[in-house]
Chain A
Amino acid sequence: MGMTMTQKILAAHAGLDSVTAGQLIHAKLDIVLGNDITTPVAVNEFRKAGFDKVFDKDRVAIVLDHFVPNKDIKAAEQSKTCRQFACEHCVSHFYDVGKMGIEHALLPEQGVVTAGDCIIGADSHTCTYGALGAFSTGVGSTDMAAGMATGTAWFKVPSAIRFHLTGRLPANCSGKDVILTIIGMIGVDGALYKSMEFTGDGAHALSMDDRLCICNMAIEAGAKNGIFPVDDVTLAYLNGRSERPPVVYQADEDAEYEKTVEIDLASIVPTVACPHLPENTRSAAQLHDIRVDQVVIGSCTNGRMEDMQAAYEILNGKHIAPGVRCIIIPATMQILRECVQRGWYTAFIDAGAVVSTPTCGPCLGGYMGILAAGERCIATTNRNFVGRMGHVDSEVYLASPHTAAASALAGYITEYREA
């Protein structure tokens, strides 16, 4: 029986000719990742267990992104723990303020992760790198500690659901609308323990930013990983960027999938996930009676260049609705710099928005846009659980940058319609 793309990568990293779904394996890791919230717990575990060195200083990545520049003294202490550990172990991929970005935008951008890699990260959205044709999954701090110490991790080989994409997206839709539509179809545990493998000519037609966004939210369907095949788009993205040579794995023609879901991208509409689960999806057109207090455009899901571009094209020369607060957060310093250079920051500010340095901040209710009781936000982030962005009685609606920017101008949830 053939293997899926994920199974091929796992078999190669476990030194096995083949693996089957359900098999427990030990696999070699190419990159082990942590952030300023999960790394301190991993550092404690690492030290407590008596480990004194990391398996490879070039294969550990520590990114301070959740609460930096530090939001308070405790957050500063956590960053300090990460900084000291990185220094002590000469971690080459350590990203502090000034260099940092939101980890899942930063590592692909900087070429730290590449096609064919096997990656764990102590952050649930580590599944993002599947867009590059890597196996990449979120774990906890103890797994991170074990990964840093041994360069290996145990996995149960996942089965897979294939999402066969055809057609082309409408102009006012992006990868976010695709993944929200899928989560709405299969539910927040619809791919629990499984891989989501994206195939078809529609998948190849998607930009890298769209693919990164789609894989980023695979976890919101409960998946272990999301993955796209490597094609010309991938190789063009990796070329001149990837620190290590990409390795291309392809699913066998007779690979076994639990099921195949056919999706015509032309049928996708601007989609919004209503409180309090990412599966509660509606079309934006059905939600015009929902007024918003705040709009957030950013995060590891939608803080990339194409997301900033969508915000710019919609907000440029316009003004956000009275009473709406609009927060725009480019995901990395490179993206921020590019936005400034292109004059987009001026356009955002003239439109009445506020712009921030890269941070996960508001997405997880950390800082930089916390909601009060009864307030409502439309955000390009990834979770809308109870209390996710602040008070337990606040509400988060998840949407694409197009929909969020259009809603900022309208003051209520609306899809973007070209003038």
Chain B
Amino acid sequence: MYTQGKVFRYPDNVDTDVIIPARYLNTPDANELALHCMEDIDAEFVHKVAKGDVIVAGWNFGCGSSREHAPLVIKTCGTGCVIAKSFARIFYRNAINIGLPILECEQAAQEIGAGDEVKVDFDTGIITDVTTGKTYQAQPFPPFIQNIIRCGGLLKSLKEGEQHG
């Protein structure tokens, strides 16, 4: 599995309030929520993002609230992957649980430029900046998490476990 698209760059400590402001959280509808993705940090994002595009950010991406709406709107917008130097822990969990690919890679997050064309291979964790030709190796997921991803999310992996267990 892979994604390929252009890069949107954001700084350190992108919080869940700018990813999806709480004033919109009066609905659980992902399509409606996605219209406001990144609104308070980059109002143009939802108009520019195309399927497969990649968010590249600094340290502690997704800090703040536990709202699963945050990874959900990023995924629903069509974003193929988020690469960051680090992720806040609840966002990290939520992204895995809902099937939004995320990768921790300090060097890639440091060097990849806004607007670059990037290809990300989720099986190998190899990130290729097509624009510059440079490649990066992201931290691989532990097998336990790989299984959740392979099953298509936490609940599906639990159901599968029930059948086999």
Contact = CB atoms under 8 A, between A and B. Distances in A.
Q: Do A and B bind each other?
A: yes
A149 interface: yes
Contact of A365 (B21, B72, B98): B21
A366 B23 contact: yes
B49 interface: no
B94 A386 contact: no
Contacts of A45: 155
A180 B29 CA distance: 35
Contacts, number: 135
Contacts of B86: 189, 192
Contact of A41 (B60, B68, B89, B142): B68
Contacts of B94: 139-143
Contact of B26 (A75, A138, A222): A75
Interface string A357-371: 000000011100010
Given A142-B153, A143-B154, A145-B155, A365 B66 contact: no
Given A37-B25, A142-B98, A222-B60, A386 B40 contact: yes
A286 to B, nearest CB: 23
B79 interface: no
A222 B158 contact: no
Interface in B126-165: 142, 144, 153-156, 158-159
A143 B96 CA distance: 11
Given A188-B60, A365-B23, A386 B28 contact: no
B63 A189 contact: yes
A392 B40 contact: yes
Interface residues of B, number: 40
Given A24-B142, A49-B155, A192-B60, A364 B17 contact: yes
Interface string B56-98: 0001100111111101100000000000001011100110011
A317 interface: no
B15 interface: yes
Task: Classify chain A: how many residues form its interface, as a range.
Answer: 35 or more
Residue among A38, A74, A189 having the largest count of chain B Cβ atoms under 10 Å? A189
A140 B28 CA distance: 13
Contacts of B3: none
B50 interface: no
A122 B65 CA distance: 9
A188 B68 contact: no
Residue among B26, B86, B153, B154 having the largest count of chain A Cβ atoms under 10 Å? B26
A81 B23 CA distance: 19
Contacts of B97: 140, 142-143, 146
Interface string A69-92: 001101101100100000000000
A24 B40 CA distance: 36
A146 B40 CA distance: 31
A24 B27 CA distance: 34
Interface string A179-218: 0000000001100110000000000000000000000000
A378 to B, nearest CB: 18
Contacts of A75: 26
B22 interface: yes
Contacts of B46: none
Nearest to B70: A140
Contact of B158 (A49, A66, A81, A392): A49
Contacts of B66: 38, 121-124, 126, 138-140
A78 B27 contact: yes
B73 to A, nearest CB: 12
Contacts of B68: 38, 41, 122, 140-142
16 contacts: A74-B27, A122-B68, A123-B65, A124-B65, A126-B66, A140-B94, A142-B98, A146-B154, A149-B155, A189-B86, A222-B60, A365-B22, A366-B23, A366-B25, A388-B17, A392-B40
Interface of A: 24, 37-38, 40-41, 44-46, 48-51, 66-67, 71-72, 74-75, 77-78, 81, 121-124, 126, 138-143, 145-146, 149-150, 154, 188-189, 192-193, 219, 222, 224, 277, 364-366, 370, 383, 385-388, 392
Given A123-B66, A124-B64, A138-B66, 11 more contacts: A41-B72, A44-B28, A124-B65, A138-B90, A139-B94, A140-B68, A142-B155, A364-B25, A366-B25, A386-B18, A388-B22
